[in-house]
Amino acid sequence: MRGATTKNLHIRLVIIDAAADYNTAMDSILYKCINYANNINYESISIDCNTYNTDMCRYLISNHNFKIQKNQVMLLMGDDNPFVNDKAILLMRFSG
């Protein structure tokens, strides 16, 4: 989505299937987005990522030099503790 007042390319990433190879997908998406952002003179890219897979978060940080810009925990109804349960959804915004 192109913002009217900022020079930030914003991507909303929804991770649905833990079996998918998201590292390869992220590499492809970021390659295209970085080229696009450079062509239109954007200064940064941010990604909203909702996942319970912390490996994706680590991958963005370590391989693409992203930083956590904003983090939130979405609390699910019931007795589940989102910090212990691997099915809790973490909402993160990364910027790079």
| 88 has pLDDT over 70 | no
pLDDT per position as a tens digit, 24-63: 888 888 888 888 888 888 888 877 776 666 777 788 888 8
What's the CA gap between 34 and 53, in Å, rounded? 24
Q: Among candidates 1, 93, 92, 94, which has minimal Cα distance to 42?
A: 1
> Hey, what are 56's tokens?
């994706």
Q: Is the pTM of this model over 0.85?
A: no
pLDDT per position as a tens digit, 3-16: 456 777 777 777 66
